[in-house]
Amino acid sequence: MKYVDEFRDPTMIARAFEEIRTLADPARHYRIMEVCGGHTHAIFRFGLKDLLPPNVELIHGPGCPVCVLPMGRIDDGLELAGDPHVIFTAFGDMMRVPGSQGSPLESKARGADVRIVYSPLDALKIAEANPDRQVVFFAIGFETTAPSTALTLLKARANRVRNFAVFCNHVTIIPAIRAILDSPDMRLDGFIGPGHVSTVIGCRPYEFIVRDYGCPIAVSGFEPLDILQSLVMVLRQLRDGIAKVENQYARVVPWEGNLAALRVLAEVFEVRAHFEWRGMGFISHSALRLRGEFAEWDAERTLPIRGVCVADPKAAQCGEVLKGVLKPHQCKLFGKECTPEQPIGALMVSPEGACAAHFKYRGAPQLVTLG
C-alpha cells in the first residue's frame, strides 16, 4: 500500500536503527518526547522502543485530547446527558472515559440518550431529525478535529438548526508544550512533533521551541520508518549542536498548515483565557471557545453547565504520566486497580493513551521483522 509499505520496509528500518546507534553518543543520555499519543501507540505496536540504544529514552507527551480532559468537564457533559430532553453525542473514544460518576457508556446504561457519532455533522443530522429534542455535541480534540466542529457550526447557523449545541472542549497543543518545557521537573533534549495536529497548524508554531528553549524538533508521521527518521533528524541536530524545526512528514504536513482550516477556526472560535488540563492544572490560552456570534449554539452559554472542578483520585498519577515525568507502569495503580476493563484514568482507555499502549503492547511488539 502506497505510503505504508515503504515506511515499513525492514531493510530501511534496519538502516535507520543503525544510523541512530551511530548518532547517539554513548556518553550522553537522550530524553526525546513524542508529543502525540498516536506516536506512543506506534512506538509500542511496532516494538521500536526495545530496539533503540538504552541511552535514547522516549518520553510520552500530552498529545491525547481525551486523556488531558479533566474529570469536571466529563461530569458537566454527563449532567446534560441526564436530562431526558437531551440527546448527548460524542466520538466513540469518549465513551469509556471515566468522570467522577462514571463514563458516557455507563450513563447510557442508566438510561441517558447517549449516541456515538463519527463526525459532528452526524450530530447535526440527529438534531435536524429530532426538532423536539436538544442535541449536544461533546466536542473534543486538538486543532486536528476543531475544523470539523467549526464547519458544523457554520452549517447549523446556515440551516438555522436551533436545537443543536456544542459543548466545546477543544484544546491547543502549543501552550501545553510550553508548559512542559517550563516544568522544573522536566529535562528534554528534543521532540518528535505531532503529525496530525501539524496537518492543520503546520510547522511554524513550533519555532518557539527552537528559539526559546534550544530544542530540536522533527514533525513526524506514524509509520515505524517515519518515527525512526524523525529520531535520526533530532539526534543529528544534537550531534551538530544546532536546533531547528524539521518536517519529516512533508508528504502530509504543509509548512504553513492548512490555510482553509485555519481560516474556519478563526471564524468560529476564540482562545480561552485559561483551561484546566488533567493533572497539569490551568494553562493559559490553551483551549478554544465559541465566538459570541455562535452563542446560541454554545452549550456553555445556553444550557445549565456548572463548570465543576473534580480532583483526580488521590493515588492516580495521570498528570505525572501526561507530563512525561513518570512512565505508565510507574503509576501505582497501573495494571492493578487501573486496567482497560476498570479504568481510573482516561489514559488507560483512550486509543491514544500512554497507559493503554503500555498495557496492550507490553512484551508483545508486532509487525516489524528485521531481515
Residues in contact with ligand SF4 by the rule CB under 6 A? 316-318, 321, 328, 331, 333-334, 338, 344-345, 347-348, 355
CB 3, min distance to ligand SF4, A = 32
State the residue for C-alpha cell 501526561: 322
| Length of the chain, in residues | 371
Distance CA 321, CA 356 (A): 12
Residue closer to ligand SF4 by CB (options 70, 221) is 70
Contact by Cβ (8 Å): 246, 231: no
Name the grid cell of 151: 464547519
Instruction: Tell me the closest approach of the beta carbon of residue 62 to ligand SF4, in angstroms.
Output: 12
Nearer to ligand SF4, 167 or 334 (CB): 334
H-assigned helices in the chain: 10-23, 37-45, 48-51, 71-81, 104-109, 120-129, 146-158, 173-182, 195-201, 207-213, 224-240, 259-268, 299-302, 318-322, 354-361
What whole-number distance in Å separates Cα of residue 327 and Cα of residue 133? 44
List the grid coordinates of 71.
474529570
Question: With respect to ligand SF4, which residue has the nearer C-beta, 39 or 289?
Answer: 39
CB of 337 to ligand SF4, least distance (A): 8
Supply the minimum distance, in Å, between the C-beta of residue 137 and ligand SF4.
25
DSSP state of 206: G
Closest CA to 81 of 56, 110, 120: 110
Smaller CB separation from ligand SF4, 175 or 345: 345
Q: Specify the residue, 253 or 347, whose C-beta has the smaller distance to ligand SF4.
A: 347
Comparing CB distances to ligand SF4, the nearer of 86 and 347 is 347
State in angstroms the smallest separation of the CB of 64 from ligand SF4: 11
Q: How far is the CB of 324 from ligand SF4 (least distance, A)?
A: 12
Query: Alpha-carbon distance 59 to 81, whole Å?
Result: 36
Q: Which is nearer to ligand SF4, 221 or 345 (CB)?
A: 345
Cβ at position 321, least distance to ligand SF4 in Å? 4
Residue with Cβ nearer ligand SF4 (265 or 322): 322
Which residue's Cβ lies closest to ligand SF4? 345
Task: State how far the Cα of 113 lies from the Cα of 177, in Å rounded to an integer.
Answer: 36
Instruction: Please spell the DSSP secondary structure of 76-111, one letter per residue.
Output: HHHHHHTSTTEEEEE-GGGTT--BTTB-HHHHHHTT
Q: How far is the CB of 48 from ligand SF4 (least distance, A)?
A: 21
Phi, psi of 344, deg, nearest 5: -105, -35
Whether residue 72 contacts residue 39, with contact meaning beta carbons closer than 8 Å, is answered with no
